[in-house]
């Protein structure tokens, strides 16, 4: 029982960290686009965003399919779980362009090459949309926790 509680707490804390990190990354992109920021801040926030995503994947998978919560059958037949996973996939799809660019930034920095700064405003908007999608995921999760169903 304690392991269930601990796993749920880690999962929720990863949501909080991810929400903060993606918002911070978006703000850092905006500041950099305005000439007032630095790439290092974007990369630090991105590292934390990536770490939180990994923790969310592992703990979420364990909770849904590892026998720690209500059971796989419950989740697979819960419409809010499907909504939550759809939002998660949308975040992953939105994340592709910033992720690829930031990987290229890290490679460029290791070679002391210039960074591609052409899409900073777009990446700021993407980050903020991802934060909104995370809020919607939390709303879906709270409905699931209370057994809300449709039909």
> For the chain, what are the domain ranges?
2-145
Total H helices, total E strands in the chain:
5, 0
pLDDT beyond 80 at 68: no
Position 91 scores a pLDDT of 98
Q: For the chain, give the percent of residues with pLDDT over 90.
A: 79
What CA–CA distance (Å, rounded) separates 21 from 132?
13
pLDDT: which is higher, 73 or 143: 143
pLDDT at 151: 62
Mean pLDDT over the full length of the chain:
94
What is the arithmetic mean of pLDDT over 35-62?
96
CA 130 to CA 36: how far, in whole Å? Answer: 23
User: Per DSSP, which regions of the chain are E strands?
Assistant: none
Q: How confident is the model at residue 3 (pLDDT cuts 50, 70, 90)?
A: confident
Other beta carbons within 10 angstroms of residue 54's beta carbon come to 12
Higher per-residue confidence, 72 vs 28? 28
Contact 77, 84 (CB under 8 A): no
Give the helix/strand (H/E) hosting 99.
Answer: helix 79-110
């Amino acid at each position: 029982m304690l392991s269930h509680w601990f796993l749920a707490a880690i999962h929720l804390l990863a949501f909080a960290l991810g929400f903060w990190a993606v918002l911070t990354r978006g703000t850092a992109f905006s500041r950099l686009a305005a000439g007032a920021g630095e790439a290092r801040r974007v990369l630090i926030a991105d590292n934390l965003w990536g770490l939180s995503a990994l923790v969310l994947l592992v703990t979420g998978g364990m909770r849904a399919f590892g026998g720690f919560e209500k059971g796989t059958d419950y989740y697979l037949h819960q419409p809010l779980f499907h909504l939550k996973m759809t939002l998660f996939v949308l975040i992953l799809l939105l994340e592709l362009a910033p992720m690829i660019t930031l990987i290229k930034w890290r490679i460029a920095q290791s070679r002391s090459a210039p960074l591609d700064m052409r899409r900073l405003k777009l990446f700021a908007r993407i980050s903020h949309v991802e934060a909104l999608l995370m809020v919607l995921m939390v709303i879906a999760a709270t409905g699931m926790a209370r057994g809300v169903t449709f039909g």
